[in-house]
């Protein structure tokens, strides 16, 4: 097992939603605060080769979490940015890290890389069996290329790159911006505002029939660090909870938790996105002992409570 206590670690996206939890977990493992470097986008543009060289210099470990990401509407409005920014950031950072002889590189992948129609539960060997869902494709394919680069760099250079494939995350500190948020924070905000404004109904995108899998953000941080410590293969590995819930069921759960009694109306002129999502998570458990600990209802309540507290100040 990789001992992290004396390692100098770069965490891109370390001030973000997932990254902030990863940093806390590193500190709890005995990594010194001064040994964790979090580059900020205002100071370091990771699409630039020279900037990537600067941020990896002197680092033992790279955890690459920085990404441009959003929900279906954001994906539809900015496909070129999502493709270019995510592809170039990952490619240049991995190249710089290899040249700097970094010991290990974690490249966070995504469930969006899977084909639109994938046998459920998604297994890692199905990753190349088709084209991703159209609204996710630019982002999903850009991140998918990291797994290609990882395998190529391991083969030619012996560079240790690991690519965990993350499902939709949720939890306290999530992005609640209506222009770029994912489904859970978007729904929480919708119900909160509808209740506050005494609105009789809430409109939700799609039919409600699509399904998703969700992983509590703190569990995701645990999984990433277990992969860092114990997994040494460029074969992508699913990191999720193994649960599946329809968007209709999800909306009902959130409405109940928030005690919103109005009607939920479905706007089927808007896309559902990928029809179903649920991962086979057996490889992560077998290879490095990861299993999600937070029950979905428990995690939802914590997220709703955090949002309510933030908006009561």
pLDDT tens digit string along 145-185?
A: 999 999 999 999 999 999 999 999 999 999 998 888 889 99
84 is catalytic: no
Asked if residue 313 has pLDDT above 70, the reply is no
Which one is catalytic: 74, 114, 131, 139? 139
Q: Which two tokens stand for residue 44?
A: 């370091």
Q: Which two tokens stand for residue 108?
A: 């966070």
Q: What pLDDT digit, counting tens, does each position of 217-250 carry?
A: 999 999 999 999 999 998 999 999 999 999 999 9
Q: What pLDDT digit, counting tens, does each position of 266-276 carry?
A: 999 998 989 99
* Binding residue ranges: 13-19, 143, 182, 190, 205, 212, 272
Residue 203 backbone dihedrals phi, psi, to 5 degrees: -100, 130
pLDDT at residue 75, rounded to an integer: 79
Give the integer Cα–Cα distance in Å for 109 and 131: 16
Give the integer Cα–Cα distance in Å for 57 and 184: 38
In this prediction, residues 80-91 reach a mean pLDDT of: 97
Q: Let me know: does 245 contact 211? Beta carbons within 8 Å.
A: yes
Q: How confident is the model at residue 198 (pLDDT cuts 50, 70, 90)?
A: very high
Domains of the chain by residue range: 9-170+213-243+276-294
| CATH architecture classification, 9-170+213-243+276-294 | 3-Layer(aba) Sandwich (3.40)
Asked if residue 105 has pLDDT above 70, the reply is yes
* Binding residue ranges for substrate: 190, 205, 212, 272
Give the integer Cα–Cα distance in Å for 111 and 114: 6
pLDDT at residue 121, rounded to an integer: 97
Q: What pLDDT digit, counting tens, does each position of 17-42 carry?
A: 999 999 999 999 999 999 999 999 89
* Binding residue ranges for NADP(+): 13-19, 143, 182
Q: How long is the chain? A: 313
Q: How confident is the model at residue 76 (pLDDT cuts 50, 70, 90)?
A: confident
User: What percent of the chain stands above pLDDT 70?
Assistant: 100
Give the integer Cα–Cα distance in Å for 118 and 140: 14
Q: Let me know: does 37 contact 152? Beta carbons within 8 Å.
A: no
pLDDT at residue 122, rounded to an integer: 97
Q: Let me know: does 269 contact 219? Beta carbons within 8 Å.
A: no
Asked if residue 312 has pLDDT above 80, the reply is no
In this prediction, residues 187-194 reach a mean pLDDT of: 96
User: What percent of the chain stands above pLDDT 90?
Assistant: 91
Give the integer Cα–Cα distance in Å for 302 and 298: 6
């Amino acid at each position: 097992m990789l001992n992290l206590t004396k390692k100098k670690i770069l965490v891109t996206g370390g001030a973000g939603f997932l990254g902030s939890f990863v940093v806390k977990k590193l500190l709890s493992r005995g990594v010194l605060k001064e040994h964790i470097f979090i580059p900020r986008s205002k100071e370091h543009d990771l699409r630039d080769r020279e900037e990537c060289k600067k941020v990896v210099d002197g680092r033992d470990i790279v955890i690459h979490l920085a990404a441009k990401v959003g929900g279906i509407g954001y994906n539809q409005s900015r496909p070129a940015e999502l493709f270019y920014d995510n592809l170039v950031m990952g490619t240049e950072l991995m190249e710089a890290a290899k040249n700097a002889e970094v010991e290990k590189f974690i490249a966070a992948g995504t469930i969006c890389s899977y084909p639109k129609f994938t046998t459920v539960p998604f297994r890692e060997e199905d990753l190349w069996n088709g084209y991703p869902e159209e609204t996710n494709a630019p982002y999903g394919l850009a991140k998918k290329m990291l797994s290609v680069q990882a395998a190529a760099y391991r083969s030619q250079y012996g560079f240790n790159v690991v690519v965990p494939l993350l499902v939709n995350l949720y939890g306290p500190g999530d992005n609640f911006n209506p222009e770029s948020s994912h489904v859970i924070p978007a729904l929480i905000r919708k119900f909160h505002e509808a209740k506050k404004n005494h609105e009789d109904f809430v409109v939700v995108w799609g039919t409600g029939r699509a399904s998703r899998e969700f992983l509590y953000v703190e569990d995701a941080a645990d999984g990433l660090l277990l992969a860092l410590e114990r997994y040494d293969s460029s074969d992508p590995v699913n990191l999720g909870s193994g649960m599946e819930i329809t968007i209709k069921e999800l909306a009902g759960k959130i409405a109940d938790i928030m005690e919103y009694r109005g009607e939920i109306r479905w706007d089927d002129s808007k896309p559902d996105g990928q029809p179903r999502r649920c991962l086979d998570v057996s490889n992560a458990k077998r290879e490095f002992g990861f299993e999600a600990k937070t029950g979905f209802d428990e995690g939802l309540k914590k997220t709703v409570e955090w949002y309510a507290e933030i908006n009561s100040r």
